[in-house]
Structure formats: C-alpha cells, structure tokens
Structure 1
Amino acid sequence: MRRSGSSRPSPVLFAALGAVVISVLVVATWQVWSNDNALSERGQQASGRVVKVTTGKNSRVHVEFRTADGRQVRSTIGQGDEAPGPRAKAGDLVAIIYDPLHPEDDLRDARAPENHKVASLLLGATVLAVVAIPAATWAGIRARRRERSATPADQH
C-alpha cells in the first residue's frame, strides 16, 4: 500500500516554482522583445571590429565599436542576427545596428534581416507555461483531494 501523496510534489510547492518560472520567462521575453524593438525603431549603424568569436552551443560574435557620441563599446551580435554566409572572424569589420540609448545591449548585423525568432520562442514558452503550470497545479490539487477522500478499501 502506498502512502497518500508520497509520489507527488505538493501542489503549493509546484505552483510556487511555476510562478518563479513564469516570472523569469516574462522578464526574458520582455528584455529580448524590447531590445529587438529598440533596434528597429531607433537603431543606428556603425562599423564594428570583431574581437572574439565563440563557437558551440552559445556561439556569439563579440564586437567593439564607437557610438555616434564617441563612446567605445564592446557588445555581442544577437543570437541569429548574424549575416548569412561565412561567419565573421576576429579582426573583421562588420556593419552593425545598435541602440544609442543602450549600446551595450545585443547588436544586429546590418546585413542580416530583422529577426524575432528568440523573442517569438520565448513568448511561446511563456504562454505555454502560463497555461500549463496552473492546469498541472489544479490537476495535482484534484488528485490530492481524491486520494484524501478515498476509503481504505479503495487503496489496495
């Protein structure tokens, strides 16, 4: 015979962790979407020198450039915002689009088309979490109630 509730996490704990996950997804979605919109609305073009290229799962192109007001900035070209074709190498000059209010945020390669893939994926994950976590929490609460109301003869 199994003890009641021993195989399921507490619905309250599940809901609390779900709220944290949803909060993180909302903040990440907002930041990526805001940065994409800033580049579209007020982005300025500059020439940047590639200082480092990281490869692997989180491959990125790191660029140094000078803003229109003369500040020297080092930032990264956003995931998927690189131009099609061969990847830039350290020392290459690339045309970039940056947000003059936050030049240290992710950049976009000026030759690349606008890309909202990451923002769209995050938005989809956020919507899924907003629907799935409360539904799973409610299912857990209902299962607990059924277990508690079951008679001892039903728990064989």
Structure 2
Amino acid sequence: MPTNYVAVGAVCLAGIGLAVRELWKWRTTQHLGQQGLSAAATILAVQTVAQPKGGPVQRLEVVYRTHSGTQYRRWLVAENNASEEEYVVGDEVAICYDARHPDHCVLESILTAPWWESPLYRGILLLGIFGYFLWQAVLHLRT
C-alpha cells in the first residue's frame, strides 16, 4: 500500500510544533512558580467550556492588584479543575504573577497540578510520538 511520506512528515512537524508549545507552556509555568509573586484575585466571571475529550474547562475573569498597587484584569483557564473545584463570582482565588510582566499570571492550583496533568508530560509524549513517526517518514523517503 503506497504511503505519502511527505504528508506524514508534514503532520509530524505540526505535532512537534504542538509539543514545543506544551514545553514552552511548562517552562513559563515553572518560571512563575519559582520567580513569581503571589496575589489574591477576585473572580468577576466564570465560563464553563465543554471539551470534545475530557471534562469541561472553566475560564475565569479575575481582577488582581500587584504589590505595587497596579490593578490588572485577565482571563485565566482552570485546566482539569472544573470537576474538582466550583468557582463562584465574587470569590477570591490565589494567583501567581510575573514581577517583570505583571499581566502574565496563572492560578496557583496550576502550579501544583499532578505530573500527568503537566504540560511537560504532554510535550514529551507528543515529541516522542511525532518524532518517531517523522524519523520513520525520513527513513522511507531516503530509500
């Protein structure tokens, strides 16, 4: 059966791009966990977004003040948390923000997520799978 290895390679490169995105997300989260500052944020709005696979994801609009007193308003994603915790408008949540870029922040619960929910795990898994198939496609194109 003929296989279009160029198309397989293109799909693999897209998959590797997704892996790099996940690894970048993990790196950013790690940086916030190590160098970020904690703050309390007030929930202004909650949206539950249905996902094709897995449970729903909640988006939270929050407002918070940095240690210098500047107020920021951001949308955050409570990944893999929708079934575990109920977010209510007006409640406070703990966030962690970057001191150099205070508009970059995440929920502190994201920083303590189990390893299997980590972007590092997803990134390595995607990189391994698509890297293997790209390697196979290149080998078949050479022969």
Q: Specify if TM > 0.5.
A: yes
- Is the contact made by 2:58 and 2:78 (CA closer than 8 Å) also made in structure 1? no
Deviation at 1:106, TM superposition (A): 4.3
2:15 is aligned to 21
Gaps of 5+ in 1: 146-156
Whether the 8 Å CA contact 1:67–1:103 is kept in 2: the answer is: yes
Determine which structure has the larger strand proportion and give its number.
2
Q: Please report the TM-score for the alignment, with normalisation by the length of structure 1.
A: 0.67
Amino acid at match of 1:107: V
Q: How many residues are paired up?
A: 133
Give 1:38-117 correspondences, 5 Å limit: 38-55=31-48, 56-57=50-51, 58-75=57-74, 76-80=76-80, 86-109=85-108, 114-115=112-113, 116=115, 117=117
Deviation at 1:33, TM superposition (A): 1.2
Instruction: Give the match's secondary structure for 1:107.
Output: strand
> Alignment identity in percent?
22
Structure of greater relative contact order (alpha carbons < 8 Å, 6+ residues apart) = 2
Q: Under a length normalisation based on structure 2, what TM-score does the superposition of the two structures give?
A: 0.72
Where does structure 2 lack aligned partners over 5 or more consecutive residues? 52-56
For 1:65, give the aligned amino acid: Y
* Cα deviation 1:26-55 (Å, max 9, x = unaligned): 1x1232112221122112111101112121
Structure 1 vs Structure 2 CA RMSD: 3.0
Please tell me whether the aligned partners of residues 36 and 97 of structure 2 are also in contact (alpha carbons under 8 angstroms): yes
Aligned partner letter, 2:118: V
